[in-house]
Structure 1
Amino acid sequence: MSDHDHVQVLLGKRIRDLRKAKGYSQEYLAEISGFHYTYIGGLERAQKNITLANLIKIACALDVGVYDLFAYNKLSSSVDKKSSDIEKIIEVLIKLPNKDVRKIKDFVYGMFEDKI
């Protein structure tokens, strides 16, 4: 993946994250920014290039500065992976009987008591 493609993917993810944080659907963001919802989807999936003028429209619709659209960081991918790992652990725990969940809780607390 080229640097250009990587930035485009990060920008798309950032637009999606900001949109979702506002509770906006793609359709609503498109409506208030003057675009078709398929354009917003294309941006979020890094399938569309965007002009500066359109970046400004989207930033205004999201009530953020243009610079906020580029305020992604490497932590977000590690947080996403951590969240995914936690979700997988929860899926396993839900399937276990209560007594086993308590044993695991006690084990984890004992193992990491100095960090909790």
Structure 2
Amino acid sequence: MDNQQVDTLVRNLYQAVDNKDVDYLNTALSEHSRFRLGNYPEVTNKAKILEGNSQFFSSIESMKHTIDDIMFQGSVKTDSTRISCFGTVDYVRLDGSEYSAVFSTFLDVKNGLIEDYLVFADISGL
């Protein structure tokens, strides 16, 4: 993947997350994905990842990610790319109150699909 492809992947992913678009996640994740959000246990079953994201999306009114930087390294030999990005996420709780957190995300992408999706953020205030 080149700079533009990585940037597009990350921005499309976070636009989908901000839109609470589980269908997009279904197409972006490989069948053997691994997902972890904050201190929650990792999930390795794609159906459970989608279910968990859907449950999380319904627990908040909205969210908006601002990405400060994206970095990556790729391997032509294995057609894989390791991406890291960080920024701020602003949440609106169901009661209308607001909460912000910084986040870092690590993605492993192989053959165009996300295999590892690890998000580090303090969401305990939600």
Point out the structure with max Rg over C-alpha: 1
Which has more helix, going by share of residues? 1
